[in-house]
């Protein structure tokens, strides 16, 4: 870990510490508030926080005490949050490159879904600005040993809280009684429990007040079980403040909804080296080969059709949940052909395909993520005293969600970063 910190610290040094900035004549997408778009604004950043947002005046360009960024014709919004991250194998993507990919793509916050003890040190080093990386929230996974007792789980939760983990992730295992017991202990300890849905039974997650449910299948299963009851389910999710993070991109890839050529053209693929590309292609080819025989062609076509229908049906539910103000999160999940950070744009397009407005999608990837951590007063929108984690875009993502790719500048806690610098080899 010391080696990692020193290595990334060397990279951080050349970007200097937080600057006092003025972004002039910029169009602001505040995310929260009455206005969707504030045109021709001046945003002043001091000590890593937003000091003010006011209508642009020419004299703002003459302040010699601050670094001035000309925002004319550009669009400023909060940085995005990827809310279901798994750190990659460092042989495939080194940690420093993983962080740089995310920052270059406009991701300034990561929620790690399977943390390790060494990640506590990593997170704290990021917080202290020793490492150039998105803000990091990390989980510890609940044990799934069938011999574990309620006293063991109580000790585990309390120790996790003491050690400083941001939340607990449920993966699998445990009896229903132990699952509910853990949920209760977590609530009493003030430590959120998120993750997989117990036995794919959404009602269990709802009764346990699980903080977020990951992946789309349990939502679709609940709907198909009793479609007339689904409005009540949405009300339960909303009333209990349970977030939904469906990770659709992963299932589109492994459900064979894309052709091989389409996968190679996904956002950010041009930054993947030939060795990793070959590995991903082999991984996908090996998976696809299970169906790639004349004898199994019918099975392959049925599988593709079944997944397509499931994802289509869930898309309708995603729109209904958004319209009903169920709290949604967004992440493409870790996968071959999901380039860290850049795959967020692919996931956002799937939300758009489901019928969500561009404004709703932008709120999901910014403000909703902050709300999940009860940090909406600190980040997730553009307002006075909020952390200056921002992205400056050449084109308006409210007009076309694909414009999220047009990142001109990333501002991380007041540090000015250029994507082209982050992506230099």
- Helix, strand, coil fractions of the chain, as percent rounded to 5: 45, 20, 35
**Alpha-carbon distance 276 to 253, whole Å?**
17
Distance (Å, whole) CA 343 – CA 234: 28
CA dihedral 157, 159, 165, 170 (to 10 degrees): -30
Tell me how far apart the alpha carbons of residues 132 and 395 are, in angstroms, rounded to a whole number: 26
CA–CA gap between residue 267 and residue 247 (Å, rounded): 16
- Residues 414 and 47 sit within 8 Å (Cβ to Cβ): yes
pLDDT tens, N- to C-terminus, the chain (425 residues) = 444 444 444 444 444 456 799 999 999 999 998 899 999 999 999 999 999 999 998 877 777 778 999 999 999 999 999 999 999 999 999 999 999 999 999 999 999 999 999 999 999 999 999 999 999 999 999 988 778 899 999 999 999 999 999 999 999 989 899 999 999 999 999 999 999 999 999 999 999 999 999 999 999 999 999 999 999 999 999 999 999 999 999 999 999 999 989 999 999 999 999 999 999 999 999 998 887 777 788 888 999 999 999 999 999 999 999 999 999 999 999 999 999 999 999 999 999 999 999 999 999 999 999 999 999 999 999 999 999 999 999 999 999 999 999 999 999 999 999 999 999 96
**Would you call 70 helix, strand, or coil by DSSP?**
strand
Q: Could you tell me the pTM of the whole model?
A: 0.94
Contacts 24+ apart (CB under 8 A), 417-424: 417/15, 417/103, 417/104, 417/132, 419/103, 419/104, 419/105, 421/15, 422/100, 422/101, 422/103, 422/104, 423/100, 423/101, 423/104, 423/271
- Tell me the fold of 1-78+380-419: Urease, subunit C; domain 1 (2.30.40)
Q: Where are the domains of the chain?
A: 1-78+380-419, 80-377
Q: Which residues contact 353 (CB under 8 A, 6 or more apart)?
A: 315
Give buried/exposed letters for 36-57 (b at 16+ CB in 10 A, else e). eebeebbbbbbebbbbebeebe
Could you tell me where the DSSP H helices lie in 194-326?
202-207, 217-225, 230-239, 248-254, 260-264, 274-288, 297-323
Q: Which CATH number fits domain 80-377: 3.40.50.300, 3.20.20.140, 1.10.3720.10, 3.40.50.10420?
A: 3.20.20.140
List, in order, residues 6 or more apart from 151 with CB less than 8 Å away: none
Closest C-alpha among 188, 19, 160, 1 to residue 96: 1
């Amino acid at each position: 870990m010391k080696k990692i910190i020193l290595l990334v610290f060397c990279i951080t040094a050349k970007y200097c510490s937080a600057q006092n900035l003025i972004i002039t004549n910029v169009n602001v997408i505040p995310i929260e508030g009455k206005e969707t778009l504030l045109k021709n604004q001046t945003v002043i950043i001091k000590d890593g926080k937003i000091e003010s947002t006011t209508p642009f005046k020419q004299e703002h360009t003459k302040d010699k005490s601050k670094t001035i960024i000309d925002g004319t014709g550009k669009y400023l919004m909060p940085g995005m949050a990827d809310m279901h991250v798994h750190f990659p194998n460092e042989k495939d993507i080194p940690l420093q490159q993983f962080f740089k990919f995310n920052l270059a793509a406009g991701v300034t916050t990561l929620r790690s879904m399977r943390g390790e003890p060494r990640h506590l040190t990593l997170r704290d080093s990021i917080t202290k600005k020793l490492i150039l990386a998105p803000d990091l929230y990390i989980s510890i996974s609940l044990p799934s040993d069938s011999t574990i007792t309620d006293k063991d789980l109580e000790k585990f939760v309390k120790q996790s809280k003491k050690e400083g983990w941001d939340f607990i992730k449920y993966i699998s295992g445990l009896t229903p009684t132990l699952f509910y017991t853990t949920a209760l202990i977590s609530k009493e300890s003030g430590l959120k429990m998120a993750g997989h849905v117990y036995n794919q039974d959404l009602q269990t997650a709802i009764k346990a007040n699980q903080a977020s449910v990951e992946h789309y299948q349990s939502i679709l299963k609940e709907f198909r079980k009793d479609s007339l009851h689904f409005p009540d389910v949405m009300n339960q999710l909303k009333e209990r403040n349970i977030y939904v993070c469906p990770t659709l991109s992963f299932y589109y890839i492994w459900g064979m909804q894309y052709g091989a050529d389409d996968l190679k053209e996904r956002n950010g693929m041009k930054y993947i080296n030939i060795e990793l590309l070959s590995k991903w292609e082999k991984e996908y080819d090996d998976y696809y080969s299970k169906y790639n025989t004349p004898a199994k062609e019918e099975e392959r076509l049925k599988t593709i059709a079944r997944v397509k229908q499931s994802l289509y049906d869930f898309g309708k539910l995603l729109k209904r949940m958004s319209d009903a103000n169920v709290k949604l999160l967004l992440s493409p999940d870790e996968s071959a052909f999901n380039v860290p950070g850049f795959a967020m744009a692919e996931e956002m397009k799937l939300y758009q395909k489901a019928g969500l407005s561009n404004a709703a999608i932008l709120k999901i990837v910014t403000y909703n993520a902050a709300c999940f951590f009860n940090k909406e007063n600190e980040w997730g929108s553009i307002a006075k005293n909020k952390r200056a984690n921002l992205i400056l875009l050449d084109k308006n993502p409210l007009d076309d969600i694909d414009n999220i790719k047009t990142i001109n500048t990333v501002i991380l806690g007041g540090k000015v970063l250029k994507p082209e610098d982050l992506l230099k080899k």
